[in-house]
Chain A
């Protein structure tokens, strides 16, 4: 009995020492090495692909933002600022619930199911809003034109992109609100549209932050 207890303790000690040795390799040397290479070769990307406009950081090209008007009294959710291109809904995005000394972005999805009544209502409301907000005199958006990603929340809640189809139906509204011609804004969208990588990987997309930064420049130059 004593013998087997000693053996067990000895074996556990070997396990612990193995763990500590491998922690040194995989938990200290490996991440430091990768960080060194990453910071040396890809400094901007390793630190979050920040975008600067007029000397000021305006966010990361990878992290979606909201483009809303300030919250009015009595409102729970702010209205979108229709001057700017709008991204996807982010009903799963939250802020941190523990370590509340911070106000961290907490990524996440709604996790609502395809047969959920809540999700159905979210989708219907979003679709009605897209149709209403983007229909301007001389241009009416039909519900069938609204692509799926415009009315659904992404997996991360931080999706930086929209589809070219969603950008297209926002063009008339954005042109009107900013006093630009439809052709100018259409060109802007075309320039900022990224196709599938090497023709077949992923889906075509438009980065909303980059698009709005370019739009702001265009308005300023006018």
Chain B
């Protein structure tokens, strides 16, 4: 069997597995967020928080909850790293410097998981397991909560109420993420991922002498790292490390975990707004773009353009033998189109065009299918933009899911789509214009520029993967990527929740013969087109200077 054919079969198997999980998981999540019963453990947690989970919140109160919880997360994680040197259970590892501790705290709380440190040598058990892995859960739960709030905005009428943030946060963690992650972690261990607290120890070698490893709770972190579209690896090599991703099966399984919640949330959306067909239309948009990108990346990587790869006879630099080119391309697309940022192969060593495809994937705004929760709300914003464009063409007031898209709604949606491009382009321009930041580049010329562009694209879109040649552990990059991650996560959330509040307050407009049928393939086509055109217009000049210049040289 040729490697290309095997790659295509892996893609088809993955689609089959995701299709099987789609309805049960999507329906389950819809029930979780609509339920009026509380589990006993949840009641204990609410008592600990001191919050009544049955109080309905308007969008401002919901937003305050998100921000207070996230601020507490940044502060706690920052202090944990700064105090690592004095904490028990960290094998004598020193505390993390302030700029890097800020960057890492911002990174994990924003669901980005950009890493300017190497896990196995810098972070001890306590920081990894009780700090970083915790944010893997809760930042994902926050993302889903905000998405659910927006969906409630569409589903509800003549009320400003969007649900209770604490209840959504706790349920997402306790009822969705923890059970699935626990099962997934055991599967990973069964295939060879490690899970121990043995710390640093010596292991004998074939030729004599010994090598030193750092053990840890790797499988439990790996499971939620993929499931919560986080991406921060226990080890420096992330999911290329054999202890995180030991076999070809675990590789495919991890891609499944990355995609399963973002895709199933479109079902949850459909159920909650009372039309699963609306969910299918959003799903079709996501899958169309994702499959298109997989095809493009497989093509560029199997073609292996570029002098060094031509000399080698294949694009295996930075890729593992057990995965090969096909499965690495599948992982690369899935991780960059979902705000995950875990890598099983190193994007900096992809072909010039292949690296550009992973970058373009992030530039779409992490919506196909996007991060857990953030993918759905990002895509719904794009749907509003698409409906608006269609409305302009026929001269009608646009509406979506029975809600009028008036000037307030379209302003909020437009603000949302301006935030991340502004962050990416301004920080990239500053980094190449100032005298010292370019010293961090490993490559020169077009590839060096790509390293910086990739860094800020990844940070602002909360992805977290890197063209890792860039030395990002400097005060400049730690500070600027930290800010890009925080602004890129929370400013759009403000617009999403404001929009949700505005929609929930409207009275529904009945559908007429003139209403655009948003559950039809025509709308999916319109939406795919709108996404590609808007992203293309925004980023083409920057892409032309980096990956296109390298790939076409």
Contact = CB atoms under 8 A, between A and B. Distances in A.
Given A25-B45, A27-B131, A113 B349 contact: yes
A121 to B, nearest CB: 9
Given A104-B212, A114-B351, A156 B205 contact: no
Given A114-B350, A155-B344, A56 B317 contact: no
B344 A203 contact: no
Nearest to A91: B317
B69 A102 contact: no
A178 interface: no
Interface stretch (B150-158, B235-243, B429-437): B235-243
Contacts of B350: 114
Contacts of A65: 205-207, 211
A83 B470 CA distance: 38
Given A17-B50, A155-B344, A156-B241, A98 B122 contact: yes
Contacts of B314: 147-149, 152
B389 to A, nearest CB: 38
A22 B211 contact: no
Interface stretch (A132-140, A169-177, A185-193, A205-213): A205-213
A110 B174 CA distance: 40
B343 interface: yes
A34 B313 contact: no
Nearest to A66: B207
Contact of B129 (A31, A103, A127, A157): A31
A129 interface: no
Given A26-B138, A30-B178, A101 B92 contact: yes
B250 to A, nearest CB: 10
B349 A59 contact: no
Interface stretch (B2-10, B27-35, B262-270): B2-10
B179 to A, nearest CB: 10
Contacts of B204: 56-59
A112 B134 contact: no
A116 B308 contact: yes
Contact of A15 (B72, B219, B246, B348): B72
A47 B467 CA distance: 31
Given A112-B308, A158-B237, A200 B346 contact: no
Contact of B45 (A22, A38, A99, A163): A22
Contacts of B243: 48, 62-63
Interface in A88-113: 88, 92, 96-99, 101-113
Categorize the interface residue count of chain B.
Answer: 35 or more
A22 to B, nearest CB: 5
Interface stretch (B318-326, B363-371, B478-486, B519-527): B318-326
Contact of B196 (A46, A98, A109): A46
Contacts of B15: none
Nearest to A153: B317
Contact of B192 (A62, A66, A109): A62
A203 B242 contact: no
A14 B349 contact: no
Interface stretch (B180-188, B279-287, B420-428, B530-538): B180-188
A209 B243 CA distance: 16
A49 B250 CA distance: 15
B292 interface: no
A156 B242 contact: yes
Contacts of A146: 313
A213 B204 CA distance: 13
Contact of A58 (B65, B69, B206, B252): B206
B470 to A, nearest CB: 8
Interface in B154-207: 166, 169-170, 173-174, 177-178, 181-182, 185-186, 189-198, 200, 203-207
B469 A112 contact: yes
B241 A114 contact: no
A51 to B, nearest CB: 9
A30 B313 CA distance: 45
Contacts of A79: none
A22 B170 contact: yes
13 contacts: A25-B174, A38-B196, A45-B194, A62-B246, A99-B92, A103-B212, A112-B308, A148-B312, A149-B321, A152-B318, A156-B241, A159-B320, A203-B323
Given A35-B197, A47-B194, A63-B242, 6 more contacts: A13-B50, A17-B48, A42-B189, A123-B311, A152-B319, A202-B323
